[in-house]
Structure 1
Amino acid sequence: MPIGFFITGTDTGIGKTTVSCALLHAFTAQGRSVIGMKPVAAGCENGFWQDVEHLKAASNISLPQSLINPYAFDAPIAPHIAAQHTGVRIDPEVIRQSCEKLQSVAEVTIVEGVGGFRVPLSSSGVPGKRYDTGDLAGMLGLPVILVVGMRLGCLNHALLTARAIESAGLKLAGWVANTIDPTMLQLEANLQTLTEWLDCPLLGVLPFQEQLDVRQLARLMDLSRLE
């Protein structure tokens, strides 16, 4: 039976793509067919969206980019603003249908969100018509994995995000600690605090790497702890 997870984070730039790719490699090591999805990407470099390229490289199934990444914007700005500037509407139904097609082919689908959990995706501020990445996760019906960027302030960000996920009625399947600040004071104490306060299993602690090696990081993931 195919499974999937929605990867969110405590902020932007805290390693959602790194964790997503590590998870893809970890599931591949179990002999499963896997594919990564980035429903919305913002920030093009030399004609490529790096997050999307990394997910494609970590997948062992090749499918059209229009399914893997239905919405891509050049400017590295909030996606709803980028969409508004380009006259595009981010349609969650398009994303849902794309995700279903990926799930029909792969045993494991890893869907990486954009920014944090409550980043707006609609340009409308009218109640009832606005939606964000949390709403997208709910529509896809996938359990959530939370990436915590380990740095000063991460405790508050992690606990607030976990509360938002639970308030949305979504399952928090686990969390990953990604050491983005190698000089963080009391790293172990912060890890212990989050382990005690977050009501889900710690799937792995990823060290800071000058040269990223997601295959190596994949070996630090304990998939048996996924809820």
Structure 2
Amino acid sequence: MLTHFFVTGTDSRVGKTIVSRALLQAMIAQGKVVLGYKPIATGSQELADGVRNKDAVTLQKSSSVSYPLSRITPYALSDEDIFTSHLPKNIFEQMTDGLHFLRQEAETVVVEGCDGWRTLITPKRRFSDWVVQLNMPVILVVGIQEGCVSQALLAAEAIIADGVPLLGWVANRINPCLAHYAETISAIRQNIKAPLLGEIPYLPRAESREMAQYLDLSLLNELSVA
């Protein structure tokens, strides 16, 4: 059984949180206890009751057990803070500690990244470095839009080159007007060896919908992570 895996995207705003929600819902439907974890998030807002990040809220509502947002997203940054915030020098260790805590509380933890695979969290440290350090299996979210074939192939090649397992990819239709949708999916399938785990159609207010039916996790059931 997969105890944890990492969800990355071809870019920002391709639907990583929506796919993470679908993955959590699909595993809950299988009777598993699962939790979402997004250690670093941008786009957060300072509210009267503290910092709030909508992605963290979506993961919180999609998990088997409700945990405080500070556990789900310990570093909730505004868009302006991502390069100016003073993240601690031991940021990777703290992210790992948070993951270990949640792993004790759930059978599987869905770890969502920030933006794409090569995202910098400090001027010299990439989010992917942490994933590689933990040898964490990866699921790639491809936002189906113009130019996504090249983005998908580049991202998949980078993940594989870094030496971590690419479990599969999920197509998220973020442009409902895109022509040649089927041909786009076919082109990516023929050039990425990892399996297509599902296709999520364009859905308004997807963060509040049930989406387990769009995924087929049977290919993941026999995988195990120490």
TM-score normalized with structure 1 length? 0.89
Higher relative contact order (CA 8 A, sep 6+): 2
Kindly indicate whether residue 88 of structure 2 is the aligned counterpart of residue 89 of structure 1.
Answer: yes
Q: 1:173 to 1:142 in 2, by over 3 A?
A: same
The aligned residue for residue 79 of structure 2 is 76
> Where do residues 144-183 of structure 1 align in structure 2 (5 Å cutoff)?
144-183=138-177
The aligned residue for residue 121 of structure 2 is 121
Q: Aligned with 1:28: secondary structure?
A: helix
| Counterpart AA for 1:112 | E
1:196 to 149, 167, 190: 190
Q: Aligned with 1:5: secondary structure?
A: strand
How far is 1:67 from its partner? 2.8
Distance 1:213 1:119 in 2: 24
| Counterpart AA for 2:70 | S
How far is 1:213 from its partner? 5.8
For structure 1, list consecutive stretches of 5 or more residues without a partner in the other structure.
124-129
Distance 1:82 1:27 in 2: 37
Distance 2:98 2:74 in 1: 8
Distance 1:214 1:199 in 2: 32
Q: Over the residues paired in the alignment, what is the CA RMSD in angstroms?
A: 1.7
After TM superposition, the structure 1 stretch with the greater mean CA deviation from structure 2, 51-60 or 136-145, is 136-145
The aligned residue for residue 6 of structure 1 is 6
Distance 1:213 1:97 in 2: 27
The aligned residue for residue 99 of structure 1 is 99
Distance 1:78 1:166 in 2: 30
The one-character-per-residue Cα deviations of 1:184-204 (angstroms, maximum 9, x if unpaired) are 110100100111111101000
After TM superposition, the structure 1 stretch with the greater mean CA deviation from structure 2, 12-21 or 136-145, is 136-145
| Counterpart AA for 1:195 | R
Q: Aligned with 2:164: secondary structure?
A: coil
- Is contact 2:58–2:207 with CA below 8 Å preserved after alignment? no
After TM superposition, the structure 1 stretch with the greater mean CA deviation from structure 2, 8-17 or 38-47, is 38-47
How far is 1:215 from its partner? 4.6
TM-score normalized with structure 2 length? 0.90
Distance 1:82 1:208 in 2: 34
The aligned residue for residue 26 of structure 1 is 26
How far is 1:103 from its partner? 0.7
How far is 1:46 from its partner? 5.7
